[in-house]
């Protein structure tokens, strides 16, 4: 069998692992975990009761995230659906009828928040990325890719983006998708990414693939109903989920990167000497209190 | 909504698209499609009737593939199960009891067929790969990665590998897995890859994720029963599935690569200038006759 160890080494970003008695240079200190604000967490509750939590990225796509917060505030996604699931690509949700009016206060034509000037990464991977000159991490736990002039978030598994039609349309934010296969990185800098699923992605990735073109469900009955979408700040404190990101601007995280780039014996015989940003996503874990 | 066009451009490797009236430089000629031999195709039939077809790679891992053919010939996987499904990682199948005796003729300790000397790629991607010095394609339609001395197949979505325990064990081939998330490339050169799912991956990728450690199903009842596993050559001709790979040693394929590396308007506004091998998997399609 594929060993337990390899999967543990490879897969988990180890957020749930308590500090080991014998600390390694990659082990986080307690202060490396920082609460994610409650109004930065969007909780999707499916009609079957399952929940999916998305961390929003207001600093990366401020107008789109403002739209999303307004849509959540109006409870606009309540009683909508996941209407498209395409294997090794995306699951997409919103108003499948395309007739539901948007609430007031929505910017209908947001700017193209696909990238931003400058390079704010505080930690980087060692090798060049196939889609960018570098890949790395923001201080507050977002994956980044970039060149010498600008940076953007990469389309990795679990990243959430804004559906749109042909350019220069950028999408209002009412139709969202999440990547559920190999990161569709060609979308980088072509679509606005607005966040990342931090818990519950497996409630989406298992959904039946749509048999219509591009994974759209052919009939209304196949759609997966969404009960509610709320910001965590709207959810009563007793049942509110809370999350923490791991800071990236410290030598523990640098050691963590090195560990992702060079897996160790006894399972691994050849360390790669590099890693793909989508296989080295910055850790997020459940937290005790959000702020 | 995420447009129909973008998904078509991004996702489909276009094997099903007939030659357009206005041919592009990337359109294959009829002779670019080559039949995959029937004894190179392994058909897994689940108890629910769904089938999953795997193209085997005997040239890359000859001893492991010989074992797999012997196991198929003995109908060894009949009435076994998929016993592990880990989100964004792998689904794994075989004998969950670990007690079923192997048939005669199996090499119990195969050599480490993780890579091979030389570089046989006839086409390459333009940018460096995070896990290798180059990425490209064999003439007969396999993805490759390599350095100056050797080459290997990359762990992309849909690639099939041999479960093993700690090195130097390489696994007999009786326990197999398929990648169902972002390509777990750190496994490259550490595990024997033996093939690729060419049809039916969505019958595996939707399976419930195991809630035990590493995605193992906790109870026997959760396991997904496998009815039979057969080589296509064992299946009556009338119902035998047949596949073709697209040759890579021609200017049409070079143009196809360029198209994957630089997506075009009207949807795309920024071409990436590069692609990840796992987002540019060589096309395979259903064929009329296998040989």
pLDDT digits (tens, 9 = 90+) for B256-285: 999 999 999 999 999 999 999 999 999 999
Q: Phi then psi for B203, rounded to 5 degrees? A: -80, -15
User: Per the CB < 8 Å rule, is A167 touching B2?
Assistant: no
Instruction: Give the residue from chain B lying closest to A276, CA to CA.
Output: B130
Nearest to A11 among B86, B98, B208 (CB): B86
Over range B202-208, report the average pLDDT.
98
User: Per the CB < 8 Å rule, is A274 touching B131?
Assistant: yes
> Which pLDDT score, from 0 to 100, does residue A143 have?
98
CATH code for A33-286? 2.40.100.10
> Which pLDDT score, from 0 to 100, does residue B139 have?
98
> Which pLDDT score, from 0 to 100, does residue A109 have?
95
* A185 close to B (CB below 8 A): yes
Q: Which of B88, B166, B172 is best to mutate for the A interface (most A CBs within 10 A)?
A: B88
pLDDT band at B17 (very low <50, low <70, confident <90, very high): very low
> Which pLDDT score, from 0 to 100, does residue B289 have?
56
- Please tell me the distance in Å from B16's CA to the nearest CA on chain A: 12
> Which pLDDT score, from 0 to 100, does residue B167 have?
85
User: Per the CB < 8 Å rule, is B131 touching A275?
Assistant: yes
Q: How many CB atoms lie within 10 A of CB B3?
A: 18
Closest CA to A185 of A98, A278, A103, A75: A278
Q: Low-confidence residues of chain A, pLDDT below 70?
A: 1-22, 289-291
Nearest to B275 among A1, A186, A187 (CB): A186
Q: Is the pLDDT of residue B10 over 50?
A: no
Q: Is the pLDDT of residue B194 over 90?
A: yes
User: Per the CB < 8 Å rule, is A269 touching B181?
Assistant: no
Q: Is the pLDDT of residue B94 over 50?
A: yes
Question: Domain ranges in chain B?
Answer: 26-286
* HSE of A99, CA atoms in CB hemisphere, 13 A: 1
* A38 close to B (CB below 8 A): no
Q: Phi then psi for A164, rounded to 5 degrees? A: -150, 170
CATH code for B26-286? 2.40.100.10
Question: Does the ipTM exceed 0.90?
Answer: yes
> Which pLDDT score, from 0 to 100, does residue B226 have?
98
pLDDT digits (tens, 9 = 90+) for A130-140: 999 999 999 99
Could you give the angle at the alpha carbon of A153 between the alpha carbons of A147 and A159, nearest 5°? 155
CB burial string A223-256: b at 16+ within 10 A, e below = bbebbbbbbbbbbeeeebbbbbbbbbebebbbeb
User: Per the CB < 8 Å rule, is A114 touching B185?
Assistant: no
> Which pLDDT score, from 0 to 100, does residue B22 have?
57
User: Per the CB < 8 Å rule, is B1 touching A130?
Assistant: no
Q: Which of B52, B94, B130 is best to mutate for the A interface (most A CBs within 10 A)?
A: B130
Nearest to A4 among B90, B214, B260 (CB): B214
> Which pLDDT score, from 0 to 100, does residue B115 have?
97
């Amino acid at each position: 069998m594929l060993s337990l160890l390899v999967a543990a080494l490879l897969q988990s970003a180890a957020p749930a692992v308590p500090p080991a008695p014998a600390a390694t240079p990659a082990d986080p200190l307690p202060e490396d975990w920082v609460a994610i604000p409650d109004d930065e967490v969007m909780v999707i509750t499916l009609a079957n009761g399952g929940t999916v939590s998305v961390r929003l990225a207001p600093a990366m796509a401020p107008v789109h995230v403002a739209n999303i917060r307004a849509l959540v505030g109006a409870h606009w996604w309540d009683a909508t659906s996941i209407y498209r699931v395409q294997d090794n690509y995306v699951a997409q949700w919103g108003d499948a009828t395309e007739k539901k009016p948007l609430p007031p206060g929505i910017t209908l034509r947001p700017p193209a928040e696909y990238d931003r000037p400058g390079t704010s990464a505080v930690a980087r991977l060692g090798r060049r990325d196939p889609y960018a000159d570098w890949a790395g991490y923001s201080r507050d736990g977002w994956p980044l890719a970039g060149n010498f002039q600008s940076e953007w978030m990469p389309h990795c598994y679990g990243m959430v983006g804004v559906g749109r039609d042909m350019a220069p349309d950028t999408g209002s934010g009412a139709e969202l998708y999440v990547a559920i296969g190999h990161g569709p990185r060609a979308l980088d800098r072509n679509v606005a990414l607005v966040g990342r699923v931090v818990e519950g992605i497996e409630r989406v990735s298992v959904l039946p693939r749509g048999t219509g073109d591009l994974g759209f469900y052919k009939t209304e009955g196949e759609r997966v109903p969404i009960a509610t979408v709320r910001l965590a700040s709207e959810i009563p404190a007793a049942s509110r989920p809370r999350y923490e990101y791991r800071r990236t601007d410290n030598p523990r995280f640098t050691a963590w990167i090195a560990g992702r780039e060079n897996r160790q014996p006894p399972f691994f015989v050849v360390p790669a000497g590099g890693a793909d940003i989508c296989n080295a996503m910055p850790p997020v874990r459940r937290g005790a209190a959000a702020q």
